Amino acid sequence: MPMDSLAPATPTPQPTPGPALQRLMARGAAFLGSRVALMGGAMSWVSERHLVAALSNAGAFGTIACGAMEPDRLAEEIAGTQALTDRPFGVNLITMHPRLQPLVETCLAAKVSHIVFAGGIPPGAAIRAAKEGGAKVVCFAPALALAKKLVRSGADALVIEGSEAGGHIGPVSLNVLAQEILPALAEEVPIFVAGGIGRGEAILSYLEMGAAGAQLGTRFVCAAESIAHPRFKQAFLRGAARDAVPTVQLDARFPVIPVRALQNEGTKRFMEHQATVLARFQSGALGKEEAQLEIEHFWAGALRRAVIEGDVEQGSLMAGQSIGMVTAIQPAAEIIAELLAQAEAALARRQGAGAAG
């Protein structure tokens, strides 16, 4: 099926929160320029024009995952997204990308409203260029000290993502990050929570703690508008929280950035691969740098093989622990409406309990 046939034929209904929930989401929604303060997590190969536009058209805020794209390819993806929506959306840039500055310039040339820096502390020059070019800057903060540093460096908003998230993860849960960072910085900048969020009740709890909104990735993988391969989606529909686990590092001399994903044959082969490389290093057949590169290159192309080609045995099935809450293929607007309804119901229960007391 041609990708463009996934574009909505009719205007997407925009789920609207009730007055109380709207007040809690007001700051985040105003910052994003969206109806609801829900960001789509940037997932390589999944967060492309169709899912991003669907989220923005449904009143949330889609985010393109730039990943390893070169500037020309990113420009095409931005233009493709703009052809499918007139609503704001963002672009997620990996700070380690060797062409980070040209990618920032590509976003600015296309009048992208928000640039999200992920995967490390962005260079000051990149933040300055984005802000001077008129974009709002969002940064990921894995600890309170870094959150404060990013705000001083000019970040307009933060995402705090817990280890429950899918893909590359830090060591601390969202539950702990929220308790550390929200009381200290929520009044200074809008803060969006991420990692393991799959229901509206959880979103409501974090909003009440001071969060401006939430970012969800895993929950949207099985959106009807997602181009992920049917076999990839089926793996998500079958998955449970305990199935999404971080990759294991065999030797501290060869660090492995933890990646949370569903276990499959590829995961088992990665363990065997590490052991083989370590044995070659210890025998003197490989130098330390060569050994590290061999370990790192194991997963090259593995995510694309799973998402696009449907190789769910050898490919990488990056998924967050909220995967057990992904139970059906639904339009993005329906998922958002469901999340809002859950939050509204929780609010009503609390108000009812308060009135009874």
CB 133 within 8 A of CB 108: yes
Does pLDDT of 3 surpass 60?
no
As a whole number, the mean pLDDT across the chain is: 94
Task: Report how far residue 142's alpha carbon sits from residue 120's, in angstroms, rounded to the nearest whole number.
Answer: 9
Does pLDDT of 1 surpass 50?
no
pTM score over 0.85: yes
Tell me the average pLDDT across 50-76. Answer: 97
Which residue, chain included where needed, has tokens 């929200």? Answer: 182
CB atoms within 10 A of CB 151: 18
Percent of the chain surpassing pLDDT 70: 95
Does pLDDT of 41 surpass 80?
yes
* Burial tier of 172 (Cβ tally within 10 Å: 0-12, 13-18, 19+): middle
> In terms of Cα–Cα distance, which of 314, 312, 280 is closest to 295?
280
pLDDT in tens, 227-284: 999 999 999 999 999 999 999 889 999 988 889 999 999 999 999 999 999 999 999 9
What pLDDT, on a 0 to 100 scale, did the predictor assign at position 300? 79
